[in-house]
Each structure stands twice: as C-alpha cells, then as structure tokens.
Structure 1
Amino acid sequence: MSEATTAERLEHLKALCGLDWGLVANLTGVSLNAVYFARAGKRMNPRAAERLDALIKLVESSPATTPEGRREWMFEVIDGGESRIQWFAKLGRRNRVPLQGAGYTPAQLLGATQDGG
C-alpha cells in the first residue's frame, strides 16, 4: 500500500474529529492558504507535514469512537489546566525543536561539523 498523500491525511484528520481548517493550520504552523493548497494536492512543508502526522496520531490515540467524542477529547482539560489542543500547540513553539529526532545545530546546517555518523 502506498503512503497517503497530504490531502488524504488532512481529510482523514477531518473525518476523525472534525477540526476546522483554521485550527489545523494553526496547529501545523502554516497558513490557512497552505492547508487549502495541500488539500488541492500541493506539497506541505516537511515540518508542517510532520506536525500533521503527530496530530493525527494524537487524535487516533483517543479512546472515543466517534468524531464528536474525539473532538471533545481533544478539547478536554488535562494536567496543567490546558486542553490537549493547547498542549499540542505548545509543542511546536517550545524552542522550535523538531518533534522527531535530534535536529541539527546551526554549525551542522552550514557544514562546519559532521553529524557524528
């Protein structure tokens, strides 16, 4: 089976919990237009695509079985007095660290050092 396109993943997220496109744009760190372009088959930047996949995994981890239940679960207040949506949004803002992997230092990006591999 081939990997789902970004458009298919966006539609899957919508079917899972019905989040509006503006909120999806905010949570993935792109503009609303970028989400519309991705839904039309254009590429989404890799960081946003990674965040989209992480958001889908979070929603799929919900114990709820209906889109409405999953949506309520996402907005439910958890430890720290914030909702899962707020918690997820803060992940991307915290030190601009990638969700997966160690990332790269500025020196590595400029080619001044090796990644140690």
Structure 2
Amino acid sequence: MSEQTVAERLEHLHAISNLDWGLVANLTGVSLNAIYFARAGKRMHPRAVERLDALVRLVESSPATTPAERHEWMFQVIDGGNTRVQWFSILGRSNRVPLQGSGYSPAQLLGAQIDDA
C-alpha cells in the first residue's frame, strides 16, 4: 500500500466502499478540509495516514464484492452491539500511543523551562 499516494488511497477507499468523506474524516481523526486537501495532494498527518491504511484494510477484508455491499457490511452490528464503523472509531480513540520517541509533556512542547528545585 505504500506505493500509492494518500490521495490514491482515499479515492480507492471511496471507490470500494462508498463511505462519504465526512465519515472518512471522522474515522481517520482529521477534519473534512484535511481530507479534501489530501485528495488534492497535500500532506496528511502521519497518524491519520495510519488510520486510513487500517480502514482500507478493514474494508478490503469484507467478504462483500460490491461497494454497496461493503458499505452495508461496515454498518452491520458486530460483537458488543456496535457496528464496524463504531468499533473502528472506538479503536482509534483508545489507541493513543506516540508514533515515535518517548513523547513530550505540554510544557516541553511549548519550550517551557522546568525548574528542578
């Protein structure tokens, strides 16, 4: 999947699932404008790209063969009473780990000097 651009992956997802852009934005954790910019070739946040790739893999794992059937499959209720869309959304919110490194505190990100006194 890494050979495809983000714009190509977004268009592929839309073509195979008929998921609307607002839902794709919600599931990848970005704004609708960010989706439109990414479709136009602009960069997308790395975490959103990871979620997009996971969403494409989920949709491609469907036993359905048409975009309409895959769309319906995404909204079927699965274990726990949630749909696959809800499950994916919950998974994205609960899986908040840094992409790389040990992470920084808000004060470190803002460049604050920390007194060790």
TM class, shorter-length: 0.7 to 0.9
TM-score, scaled to structure 1: 0.82
Taking only the aligned residue pairs, the percentage that are identical comes to 73
- Match of 1:33, as an amino acid? N
For structure 2, list consecutive stretches of 5 or more residues without a partner in the other structure: 109-117
Per the TM alignment, residue 104 of structure 1 is displaced from its structure 2 partner at its CA by 4.4
For structure 1, list consecutive stretches of 5 or more residues without a partner in the other structure: 111-117
Alignment-derived partner of residue 49 in structure 2: 49
Alignment-derived partner of residue 36 in structure 2: 36
Per the TM alignment, residue 92 of structure 1 is displaced from its structure 2 partner at its CA by 1.3
Alignment-derived partner of residue 106 in structure 1: 103
Root mean square deviation, CA, Å: 1.8
Match runs of 1:76-91 below 5 Å: 76-91=76-91
Per the TM alignment, residue 106 of structure 1 is displaced from its structure 2 partner at its CA by 3.1
TM-score, scaled to structure 2: 0.82
Is residue 7 of structure 2 the alignment partner of residue 10 of structure 1?
no
Q: Deviations over 1:27-70 (max 9, x none)?
A: 00000000000000001110000000000000000000000000
